[in-house]
A and B are shown apart, each in its own frame.
Chain A
Amino acid sequence: MAPTQASIQLPSSSSTRNSGAASTVEVSSVCKAYGDFVAVDDLSLAIKPGSIYGLLGPNGAGKTSTLRMIIGIIVPDSGHITVFGEPLKPAHKDRFGYLPEERGLYKKMKVLEHLLFLGQLKGLSGAEALKRARSWCERFDLSAWTDKKVEELSKGMQQKVQFIGAVLHDPELIVMDEPFSGLDPASTVVLKNVLLELAKSGKAILLSTHGMDQAERLCHSICLVNHGHVVLQGDLAQIKAGYGSCNVQIKYDGDARFLQESRLVQSFNDYGNYVEVRLAPGADTQELLRLASAGARLSKFEVMEPSLEEIFIAAVSKPAESKPNA
């Protein structure tokens, strides 16, 4: 994973993202309710060209509703959405690509025909759509399947076809709902590389996921939502810096009494192989190391950046002080 991690850092320092270019998407104070159920409450976000924006949160947090509002499938009850600097209108549809959460393909259609159809709906000529579909299929290892019906493909392969359908027309904005679900590890890597490449070429990418580590590796900016509310949002690097290095992973053998030291340890999470300790505010890691090594044999002691998951859990439990960058 190390080389890919390095390549992720590249776009974040690239000029396109930090140049202050106009946002591809701007959502301001959007609300959406279905009857009594409030799906999205006062959500705002902006996505710059050349960046990958992650919309994170548990199931039912309002991620899909937000994505659907951005591409105009549903209309917000209040608030504004501008795309490419203008209020959303049907003519914009050719400029974005959408990957829905569940597979949305005609089962009886052949793969290549289906891609042709999706491409033509976005304004590509038949010949151009066919050419691009062939080259994408090659990239995703689907060349042998182009004449098969969609229903004959595995779920993961269908997901790849769906992805190709979303990017075939080279859209400026790519909106993906859970793009990695159902993919095997190899395909996940291919997809991730494609997304990074697209971002590097200046596309704005918005993806939703409930897999925190996926987002952590891929996204430049994130928005954490829970029960329709924004819990935390902004530049991922800044968020992490804001939370500080206050976690320690410890692998030990022996006396575990040091974990009960409330002056140093605010909480801990035992993962079996190791314990992850959240330090109390103002605690010194050196003191913890001394205390731990006094009673137990340590095989690992690592000061960690907080994981997104922990940040999320911390933010949800303390919503009052949650928006460092909002």
Chain B
Amino acid sequence: MRNFWVIVKREYLQRVRTRSFLILTLLVPGIMTVVMTLPAKLATMGKKAEHVVVVTSTPQFGEMVRQHFLSALTATDDDDESSPEANAAKPKPEDEYVIDVDSNATEAERAALRDKVTSQAIDGYLWLTDDAIASGKVTWTSRNMGGFGESSRLSAALNRVIQYERLSKNGLTTEKADELLKPVKVEAIRIERGREAKGSGGGKFLEVFIMVMLLYMAVLLYGISVMRSVLEEKTSRILEVLLSSATSTELMAGKLLGVGAVGLTQILVWVVIAGVFALPAMAMQPTLSEFQIPLGVLIAFAIFFLLGYLLYSTMYATIGAITTTEQEGQQLQFFIVIPLVLSVFMLAPVVRTPDAPAIVWLSMVPFFAPVLMYARIVVQTPPLWQIALSVVLLVGTIAGLLVLCARIYRVGILIYGKRPNLPEILKWLKYAKA
């Protein structure tokens, strides 16, 4: 036990104190921020307000259309109740679009507008005369396909305006029209431990996806680090010195925990940085603060993330023990990435039908459990025995793999230069038994 902690300490401190650790720890949040904000910045940078002309038969109708468009642009995507403050950060639609109303609906005016579009004096015009509405065919003319005319929100708004217009022409009051046109919205309600809980499948998927991404990143970054350090010890013969002081299981377990702790430290730093930056933003966006994760899911996240991380790192360590060079190791890395990728492929069916028998059993398989069992817990809490069984299987697999790997590690010291085949590895395991 003493040696185990000495090794954990060395592995941890040697890595955390390197410059590359510091750079990576600080750089990733920076890059993430840039990646997340840059596209939006680029899209708005140097963008002029779009100048649009709406041609109608009467100025009153034109003004009505204008008002509807502007209010449609103000509303957020699918949440009509959101408070106006929430959109303070967004540019005002008056800045984005200049909408002129033109009631001179003649062919000469149409030609003039077309010329204006060509000469870039305006960006496009909407031909919305009574004739056009009656024929059910309204045209939007512009130089490019995107922007104003393509917005589904605008066409929805346009449809509503025209529906109002048609209804009022048939003698209905505005109130009556409102009542008839009141939209219906579907709200998803999920039964969680007997209680109703709001939240869409998309949100759940996001929770699982964050876990998978973190696991994937941690495994790739630090699993390889474990493999590399096993290889280094083997090729530089430090292993011989270490084995004269400690058992191979102490070495292996110490290494896995030490390197693992480095990865967790880094992720913790990222989470703290993300928290510091995200909290004010969340406070400003009331809709986001509704995105709450129950405590049970957080605990499940911690358990399955840690176990998954340990399992995959142990697999990397085993590869390091079997191979002699990093290139060889990278070829075998395939066997580690495959279960992870398969887990990701299985995510969609798991979120849809978390209690299908095949999915229940697959989520018990240790190599898939970190992702799939966690996904099941997020979507619909499975029976406790299933969670317990998958955890027990995971821990057992990690322990078994660790012992196996420690043996290969110890015997592998004797063989240089060539990758052992399976019978040879089995023979090694026999050697190392004593």
Q: Which of B6, B232, B240, B410 gathers the greatest number of chain A CB atoms within 10 Å?
A: B240
* B219-252 interface with A by 8 A CB criterion: 232, 236-247
Is B414 a contact partner of A98 (Cβ separation < 8 A)?
no
The answer on a CB contact under 8 Å between B240 and A98 is: yes
Residue of B nearest to A93 (CB): B245
B236 adjacent to A100 (CB under 8 Å):
no
Q: Do residues B236 and A105 form an inter-chain contact, with CB atoms below 8 A?
A: yes
Of residues 116 to 141 in A, which have CB atoms within 8 Å of B's CB atoms?
A: 117-118, 120-123
Are B240 and A104 in contact, CB atoms less than 8 angstroms apart?
yes
Q: Which of B410, B414, B432 has most A Cβ within 10 Å? A: B414
- Which residues of chain B are within 8 angstroms of A68 by Cβ–Cβ distance? 240
Partner-contacting stretch, out of A69-77, A210-218, A284-292: A69-77
Q: State the Cβ distance, A178 to closest chain B Cβ, in Å.
A: 12
CB interface residues, B 373-431, toward A, < 8 Å: 410-411, 413-414, 431
Q: Are B240 and A121 in contact (CB under 8 A)?
A: no
Number of A-B contacts (CB under 8 A): 68
The answer to whether B240 and A103 have CB atoms under 8 Å apart is no
B15 to chain A: closest residue by CB: A108
- What A residues does B10 contact at CB under 8 A? 117
B244, A71: Cβ atoms under 8 Å?
Answer: yes
B434 in the interface (beta carbon within 8 A)? yes
Q: A74-B414, A75-B431 are in contact. Are A104 and B241 (CB under 8 A)?
A: yes
Which residues of A94-118 are within 8 A (CB) of B?
A: 94, 96-98, 100-109, 117-118
Q: Residue-by-residue, is A163-184 near B (CB-CB < 8 Å gives 1, otherwise 0)?
A: 0011000000001000000000
**Interchain CB contact (< 8 A) of A104 among B6, B14, B239, B431:** B239
Category for how many chain B residues contact A: 20 to 34
State in angstroms the CA–CA spacing of A166 and B14 once bound together.
Answer: 21
Contacts of B237 in A (CB 8 A): 100-104
If the complex has contacts A73-B413, A74-B414, are A100 and B245 also in contact, measured as CB distance less than 8 A?
no
How far apart are A300's CB and chain B's nearest CB, in angstroms? 45
B238 CB contacts on chain A under 8 angstroms? 104-106
Q: Check: B3 CB closer than 8 A to any chain A CB.
A: yes
Cβ of A282 within 8 Å of any chain B Cβ, yes or no, is no
Residues from chain A with a CB closer than 8 A to the CB of B411 are 74
Binding site for B on A (CB under 8 A): 34, 68, 71-75, 90, 93-94, 96-98, 100-109, 117-118, 120-123, 162, 165-166, 175
Further pairs besides A108-B14, A117-B6: 7, Cβ < 8 Å: A73-B243, A74-B431, A104-B238, A106-B236, A121-B3, A123-B2, A175-B244
27 CB-based A-B contacts, threshold 8 Å: A72-B244, A75-B432, A75-B434, A90-B247, A93-B246, A98-B241, A100-B237, A100-B241, A101-B237, A103-B236, A103-B237, A104-B236, A104-B237, A104-B238, A104-B239, A104-B240, A105-B236, A105-B238, A106-B14, A107-B236, A117-B6, A118-B241, A121-B6, A121-B7, A123-B2, A165-B241, A175-B244
